[in-house]
């Protein structure tokens, strides 16, 4: 929500170039709030306001701008001012940001950054998208095993200023191997014994991820072990960086959105909906729509096969959507339950049989309920009559059973094959059910309706 | 994944009642790993192992057991031992746990807890499910404005032991009002100036939530402001507790699952899939299935209205699934994109027009592609011919347009009305499109096919 409350005042301060008030405005509030108040301003206006903030709050406020505004500022403002601003961003955030800046501009800016930072940025950009390496920051608090609590505290108080989090302090040996961790809490509560050695304080069994691991792995471990941050190491257990809590929450949301998109029959978007170019979006949707289209063609063929039946008993057509959508919706529900339960680790493959049994019982129950409803309603129509209504009800029951079966087995199978169960998107299940539905419905009709059997 | 690697050894230690090795086993690893190794053990076995752990690691290991095992231990083990265990749990976790324990057992255990804790538990249980109050813990680090850095550090090092997080220290006045926060980082980096007053160090503009706020609000603020923990206050801004990062990650996953269930046409489950009793699950699914069933009935009626048309031109039936599913799937995609974008705050209502314009263009593009495909395929079938194929293609194009329109407008409208856009579940959109699809398709046919027009 844009907060336009103070826009006029801010613009006035800018017009008067009222340094005092602009400074005051930049310091008074939580940087995120300050950024909100500036949402209505153009990028250049926002930048002119930020010029009055001290370096510290300038970068903090900037960090809360919309990505689009951040990019515009970076691309338009004076390159040296921008460089001094970027220097103070956590380097994982900087990397994400530069992904959206024009390559030429990045080329001009990188040389203006301190060597160490430039090296880190280049290295981080080299990691595959959605890998632990790509979301980690290389800035973390380091300790030596030989340090005493006193030294460590002094040491950390030096480092703290420039760090994103000091909740965990990482104990590193000469070859940069990760040996253990000490939490800020442990350190602070050990203040009473300043001569204790870190080696005697540290947790040796450290949960970590490798730089190439998928960010989903990061999410699972952080959630499983309730961590504030997780260290990222290479194959030889050299410490490379850490992934901090804020990035983990973002990952959790990204992964959830990805799954939702897959389930919705869309190839997941890398960026936001509005940032995604139309042609790309059309492609990501079109591909699946064409696949579903082919699925639906099967149904068309199946219907044509039964042309004579349909011709002799027209009313059969009326109930096709009822039978198919009931089966599709139940299958859709089963697929959703299984996919989400697998995604949250609520069920694993070894629960497979339990899940299948439950879904079967549920299919019987739900199919029964809907079949009764179908029988009742089709009795209301004059044509079907007792026999016809029996055909509708029986088929609907069977189709619902197929629906739950397909919706349960397909995601489980995909999970088993190491594929993303969410790929078993609802439309895919639905079009499969459509096809089966027609086959079941019309064969039951052939079986039970004398008019056809006779004809 | 159960880790059965050491089960025999553990069982052997238990049989021999080998205190030394069992102690060693409980201390050696990260508590979460220890818990994993015990996954194969029965609740009573696990408890017998835990008896050999010191109080500290006992509760830590216990905290990583499956909820079901935790509950079984609480309900079966000696009540006094259990009480001493529960005392050491963060009280928000304790509250969640007791929700699954039989009321009688809770009644026996509560009196055994320290008064302060019992009061907190009872108060926390009073908050509505999914509210900030229900997920907060009442244990947090407190400071006074008048403290110096030196006093604060000493003070915190005292409190730290018993606290879940000390990342933020909360500055509270005599009447328990929240006045400001100091981060552990600030405090540690201020060690150089031990006589500075907290009041000069603290951040006054604190982001907080109220106890009655929905947990989704907590998630949004924590993500928006990149917080490690967020304070919970009452209407008079009295400090009640904090919600910590680990609970926020859980909330993020819960909310995502809730949305996924709604989109899948299921009333969201409070507990895991396997913990939910079958009858409840049948109800949560059945309700929606019946609603969708009624939606499908409209289509049945629509079809019956056009009985004569269908009777005179049987082949029209073959392409009904093709036309309808194409429209349904495209609408499904639009709904998914809009719902997820709204959920992540990627778009807000003010982007409405932009979204509608994009989806319209997308509908035209996708509808065009599929229409061409439909024309081609229906030419393959002998009956429709040029004119018939034009009917199929034109209807499909129009239905896809309706699909994107419905999939875009309905979630936006629901969001506008303050309802959860995810309620515009895919099946609901689909059954709407089915109905519109039939109407459009058969009317286009009436319009273009002389055979009917004539008949």
- Tell me whether residues B256 and A253 touch, CB distance under 8 A: yes
Task: Please give the order of strands across the beta sheet that includes A239-244.
Answer: A209-210, A229-233, A239-244
Helix (H, G, I), strand (E, B) or coil at A143: strand
- A232 - beta bridge partners? A209, A241
Residue A383 CA to residue A385 CA, distance in Å, equals: 6
Fold of A142-244: CBS-domain (3.10.580)
Nearest CA in chain B to A220: B249
pTM of the model: 0.74
Full pLDDT tens readout for chain A, 455 residues: 455 667 888 888 888 888 888 888 888 788 888 888 888 888 889 999 998 888 888 988 998 888 888 999 999 999 899 998 998 888 888 888 888 888 899 989 989 998 888 888 888 888 887 889 988 888 888 899 999 988 888 888 777 666 666 678 899 999 999 999 998 878 877 877 888 999 998 988 889 999 999 888 898 888 888 888 899 999 989 999 999 888 888 888 888 888 888 877 788 887 778 888 888 888 888 888 888 888 888 888 888 888 888 888 888 888 888 888 888 888 888 888 888 888 877 888 888 898 999 999 999 999 999 999 889 888 888 777 888 899 999 999 999 999 999 999 999 988 888 888 877 777 788 888 888 998 999 889 888 887 665 44
**Residues in chain A closer than 8 A to B307 (CB atoms):** 314-315, 318
CB contact under 8 A, A205 and B28: yes
Cβ neighbours around B146 below 10 Å, total: 11
Look at residue B260 and tell me whether its pLDDT is greater than 70. Answer: yes
**Angle at alpha carbon of residue A345, lines to A340 and A347, rounded to 5°:** 80
> A314 and B311: CB-CB below 8 Å?
yes
Q: Which residues of B touch A90 (CB under 8 A)?
A: none
Residues B333 and B337: their CA atoms lie apart, in Å, by 6
Q: Name the residue in chain B with its Cα closest to that of A185.
A: B160
Nearest residue, CB atoms, B261 vs list A1, A336, A431: A336
B242 bridge partner residues: B137, B231
Test B189 with A160 for CB contact under 8 angstroms.
yes
Q: Give the C-alpha separation, B442 to B365, whole Å.
A: 23
Specify the CATH architecture of the domain A278-453: Orthogonal Bundle (1.10)
Residue A359's Cβ-side half-sphere holds a number of Cα atoms within 13 Å equal to 29
DSSP letter at B52 equals: T
User: What percentage of chain B reaches a pLDDT higher than 90?
Assistant: 19
DSSP string, A355-374: HHHHHHHHHHHHHHHHHHHH
Residue B426 to residue A426, Cβ atoms within 8 A: yes
Chain B partners within 8 Å of A252 (Cβ):
249, 252-253, 256
Mean pLDDT of B78-91: 88
Confidence class for position B242, pLDDT limits 50, 70, 90:
very high
Nearest to B421 by CA among B216, B264, B259, B257: B259
The pair of structure tokens assigned to B261 is 């269930």
Pick from B263, B282, B438: CB nearest A362: B282
Question: What is the reported pLDDT for A89?
Answer: 87
Mutate to test the interface with B, among A181, A245, A335, A400 (most CBs of B within 10 A): A245
| ipTM attached to this prediction | 0.74
Q: Strand A141-143 relative to strand A168-172: parallel, antiparallel, unpaired? A: parallel
Closest C-alpha to A76, from A50, A56, A57? A50
Distance (Å) from the alpha carbon of B152 to chain A's nearest alpha carbon = 11
Topology classification of domain B3-128? MgtE N-terminal fold (1.25.60)
B59, B258, B296: best to mutate for the A interface, most A CBs within 10 A: B296
How far is C-alpha B238 from the geometric centre of its chain's CA atoms? 28
Q: Inspect the interface and report whether the beta carbons of A264 and B354 lie closer than 8 Å.
A: no
What's the CA gap between A14 and B64, in Å, rounded? 56
* Chain B residues within an 8 Å CB radius of A191: 153-154, 157
* Minimal-distance CA residue of chain A relative to B286: A366
Residue A176 CB-half CA count within 13 A: 12
Residue B196 C-alpha, separation from nearest chain A C-alpha, in angstroms: 15
From chain A, the residues in CB contact with B203 under 8 A are 30
Residue range B231-242: average pLDDT? 92
C-alpha to C-alpha distance for A447 and A394, rounded to whole angstroms: 12
Task: Yes or no: say if B95 and B134 are a contact pair by the CB < 8 Å rule.
Answer: yes
Q: Where are the domains of chain A?
A: 3-128, 142-244, 278-453
Size of interface A-B (CB pairs under 8 A): 366
- Which residue in chain B is spatially nearest to A404 when comparing CA positions? B285
Give A207's contacts in chain B (Cβ within 8 Å): 30, 32
Q: Cβ contact (<8 Å) for A289 and B369? A: yes
Integer Cα distance of A374 and A318 in angstroms: 12
User: How distant is the Cα of B115 from the closest Cα of chain A, in angstroms?
Assistant: 26
Question: Which residue in B has a C-alpha nearest to residue A150's C-alpha?
Answer: B191
> Which chain A residues have a beta carbon less than 8 Å from that of B166?
184-185, 188
Distances, alpha carbon A435 to alpha carbons A297, A327, B302, in Å: 9, 11, 22
Question: Between B156, B340, B374, which is nearest A261 by CB?
Answer: B340
Mean pLDDT calculated for residue range B299-310:
84
Question: Residue B282 is nearest to which of A266, A320, A365, comparing CB atoms?
Answer: A365
In this structure, what token pair is assigned to residue B393? 């293609």
Query: At a CB cut-off of 8 Å and minimum separation 6, what does B154 contact?
Result: A191
Cβ distance A264 to B333 less than 8 Å, yes or no, reads yes
Residue B233's beta-bridge partner residues? Answer: B210, B239
**Residue B210: pLDDT over 90:** yes
Pure H helices in B273-351: 278-305, 307-312, 315-318, 320-343
User: Are B142-244 and B278-453 in the same CATH fold?
Assistant: no
Has residue B455 got a pLDDT over 60?
no
- Residue of A159, A249, A347, A399 to mutate for B, most B C-beta atoms under 10 A: A249
DSSP string computed for B243-269 = EEHHHHHHHHHHHHHHHHHHHTT-PPP
For residues A336 and B263, is the Cβ–Cβ distance under 8 A? yes
Q: Do B205 and A33 touch (CB under 8 A)?
A: yes
pLDDT in tens, B374-409: 898 888 887 778 888 999 999 999 999 999 999 999
Say what the pLDDT of residue A455 is. Answer: 44
Using CB atoms, which residue from B289, B304, B328 is nearest to A326? B289
- C-beta atoms of A304 and B310 within 8 A: no
Across all residues in chain B, what is the average pLDDT?
86
Nearest to B188 among A157, A311, A325 (CB): A157
């Amino acid at each position: 929500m844009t907060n336009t409350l103070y826009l006029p005042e801010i613009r006035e301060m800018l017009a008067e170039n009222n340094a005092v008030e602009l400074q005051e405005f930049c310091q008074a509030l939580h940087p995120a709030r300050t950024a909100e108040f500036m949402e209505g301003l153009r990028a250049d206006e926002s930048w002119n306001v930020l010029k009055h903030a001290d370096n510290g709050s300038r970068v903090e406020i900037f960090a809360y701008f919309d990505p689009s505004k951040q990019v515009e500022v970076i691309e338009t403002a004076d390159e040296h001012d921008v460089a001094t601003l970027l220097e103070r961003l956590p380097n994982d955030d900087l990397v994400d940001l530069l992904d959206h800046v024009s390559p030429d501009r990045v080329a001009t800016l990188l040389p203006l950054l301190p060597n160490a930072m430039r090296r880190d940025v280049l290295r981080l950009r080299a990691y595959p998208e959605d890998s632990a390496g790509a979301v980690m920051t290389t800035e973390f608090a380091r300790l030596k095993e030989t340090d005493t609590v006193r030294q460590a505290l002094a040491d950390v108080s030096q480092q703290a200023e420039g760090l994103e989090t000091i909740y965990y302090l990482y104990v590193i040996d000469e070859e940069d191997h990760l040996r253990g961790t000490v939490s800020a809490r442990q350190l602070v509560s050990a203040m009473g014994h300043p001569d204790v050695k870190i080696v005697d304080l540290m947790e040796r069994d450290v949960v970590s991820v490798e730089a190439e691991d998928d960010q989903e792995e990061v999410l699972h471990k952080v959630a499983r072990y309730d961590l504030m941050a997780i260290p990222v190491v290479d194959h030889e257990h050299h410490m490379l960086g850490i992934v901090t809590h804020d990035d983990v929450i973002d990952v959790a949301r990204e992964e959830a959105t990805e799954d939702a998109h897959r389930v919705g029959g869309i190839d997941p978007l890398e960026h936001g909906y509005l940032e995604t170019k139309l042609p790309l979006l059309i492609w990501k949707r079109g591909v699946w729509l064409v696949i579903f289209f082919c699925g639906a063609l099967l149904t068309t063929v199946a219907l044509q096969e039964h042309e004579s039946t349909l011709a002799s008993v027209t009313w059969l057509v009326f109930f096709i959507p009822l039978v198919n959508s009931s089966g599709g919706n139940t299958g859709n529900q089963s697929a959703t339950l299984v996919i989400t339960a697998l995604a949250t680790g609520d069920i694993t493959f070894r629960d497979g049989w339990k899940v299948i049994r439950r879904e079967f019982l549920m299919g019987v129950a739900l199919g029964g309920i809907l079949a009764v409803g179908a029988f009742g309603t089709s009795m209301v129509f004059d044509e079907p009559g007792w026999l016809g209504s029996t055909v509708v009800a029986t088929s609907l029951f069977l189709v619902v059973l197929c629906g739950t079966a397909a919706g349960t087995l397909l995601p489980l199978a995909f999970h088993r094959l190491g594929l993303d169960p969410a790929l078993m998107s609802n439309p895919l299940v639905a079009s499969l059910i459509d096809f089966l539905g027609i086959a079941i419905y019309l064969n039951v009709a052939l079986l039970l309706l004398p008019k056809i059997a006779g004809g």
